[in-house]
A and B are shown apart, each in its own frame.
Chain A
Amino acid sequence: MDLKEIIAHLLKENFPGVNVELIEYKNELTLRVEKQHIVKVCKFLKENADLQFTLCEDITAIDWAKRKNRFTVVYHIFSLKSKNRLAVKVDVDESDCSIDSVASVWKTANWHERETYDMYGIKFSNHPDLRRMYMPEEFEYYPLRKDFPVMGIPGSLPLPKK
């Protein structure tokens, strides 16, 4: 059995009511989950003895601008045991722009989620310390959203007095 079949089998066995979709494209495996199940699925992927996705490499998001589910949160995870890489994708809509934090599963997720919050404005509930990562605290916009101009909004970032 290859990884796709193993994951599909294990998830079906352990989470009978959860809709998951596995896509393989150019030898890269993607798992799509609904957002209310993200924490328990991630916990399972990390702690299952056959999978052991112990390394959370990155958490980021995609802004699709005009799509119905505007954002997709992407988790890149890696298994040090089997050397497999997996992308977990979760759709988040702008009307309810929040998702549960996986910082309780991977500690690295803390900063990755802060960065994603800073750049896209997606709120991670139950996050231990959800503050902006790069932009100043009082900054009101989310720079990597598609409706944010490249040159920024004049006067939104203060400069020192000359």
Chain B
Amino acid sequence: MGLEAKLTDDGFFTTKLDAIIEWSRKYSVWPMPMGISCCAIEMMAAGDPKYDIARFGSEVMRFTPRQCDLMIVAGTVTYKMSHVVRKIYDQMPDPKWVIAMGACTSSGGMYRSYNVVQGIDQFLPVDIYLAGCPPRPDNLLNALIQIQDKIGKTRAKDFQDIKLPELTVLQSN
């Protein structure tokens, strides 16, 4: 079987560093469950034994942004909450990905109103927009697989030109 056979047979194998890093990254995407409203229930359902997000290596929902690679924004983001979401996103280490789960996060959804941000792409770089209100857990898993495909296409040189943004200390009161 794959890796084991190779290791017992020859004791070593050759590959590209990029390939092995992407391969390990792909199957250990740790999500940051940014569950703001009802989409969070479907996100939890994706973690249960029936849908089992662990099949894709993403069962480790970390409640600290410092250990996460993927932010699942699940729920209506109001203007007041947008600062919190951005603050948490900024605390995640690079490389990081974002799923805008559901209609509200993607476009404001049914909340066409003064207090809801009409799409979180106004303040976050979004990788996958996920349709549904709320999306079914299988749809979330589909988004996760697409994120994995995207990670699989990422190469180390893609990060060469990225400069870290200048850090600003936010005054909170």
**Cβ of A49 < 8 Å from any Cβ of B?**
no
B82's partner among A150, A152, A160 (CB-CB below 8 A) is A160
* Distance in angstroms between the alpha carbons of A152 and B79 in the assembled complex: 11
A contact face: mostly helix, strand, loop, or mixed = loop
A150 near B112 with CB under 8 A, answer: yes
Query: What distance in Å separates the Cβ of B55 from its nearest Cβ neighbour in chain A?
Result: 34
Query: What distance in Å separates the Cβ of A135 from its nearest Cβ neighbour in chain B?
Result: 8
- Interface stretch among B31-39, B117-125, B138-146? B117-125
A151 near B113 with CB under 8 A, answer: yes
| B79 proximity list for chain A (CB < 8 A) | 136, 157-159
**Cβ of B155 < 8 Å from any Cβ of A?**
no
Contact flags A130-162 to B (C-beta < 8 A → 1, else 0): 000011100000010000111111000111111
A162 near B114 with CB under 8 A, answer: no
Interface size of B in residues (CB-CB distance below 8 Å): 16
**Cβ of B115 < 8 Å from any Cβ of A?**
yes
A149's partner among B82, B83, B114, B125 (CB-CB below 8 A) is B114
A160 near B114 with CB under 8 A, answer: no
**Cβ of B66 < 8 Å from any Cβ of A?**
no
* Distance in angstroms between the alpha carbons of A148 and B87 in the assembled complex: 30
B83 near A150 with CB under 8 A, answer: no
A159 near B123 with CB under 8 A, answer: yes
**Cβ of B153 < 8 Å from any Cβ of A?**
no
Contact flags A13-48 to B (C-beta < 8 A → 1, else 0): 000000000000000000000000000000000000
B122 near A159 with CB under 8 A, answer: yes
| B87 proximity list for chain A (CB < 8 A) | 160
A143's partner among B114, B117, B122 (CB-CB below 8 A) is B114
A162 near B113 with CB under 8 A, answer: no
| A162 proximity list for chain B (CB < 8 A) | 122-125
Residue of A nearest to B108 (CB): A151
B114 near A151 with CB under 8 A, answer: yes
Given that A136-B79, A157-B79 are known contacts, is A148 also in contact with B122, CB under 8 Å in the complex? Answer: no
B82 near A159 with CB under 8 A, answer: yes
**Cβ of B86 < 8 Å from any Cβ of A?**
yes
Query: What distance in Å separates the Cβ of B9 from its nearest Cβ neighbour in chain A?
Result: 51
| A158 proximity list for chain B (CB < 8 A) | 79
| B122 proximity list for chain A (CB < 8 A) | 159, 162
Q: Which residues of chain A from 52 to 80 have any CB-CB distance to chain B below 8 Å in the complex? A: none
A160 near B86 with CB under 8 A, answer: yes
**Cβ of B80 < 8 Å from any Cβ of A?**
yes
Interface pairs A-B: 4 shortest CB-CB: A152-B114, A160-B86, A157-B79, A160-B123
What are 30 residue pairs bridging A and B, where the CB atoms are less than 8 Å apart in the complex?
A: A134-B80, A135-B80, A135-B115, A136-B80, A143-B114, A148-B114, A149-B114, A150-B112, A150-B113, A150-B114, A151-B113, A151-B114, A152-B114, A153-B114, A157-B79, A157-B80, A157-B114, A157-B115, A158-B79, A159-B82, A159-B122, A160-B83, A160-B85, A160-B86, A161-B86, A161-B123, A162-B122, A162-B123, A162-B124, A162-B125
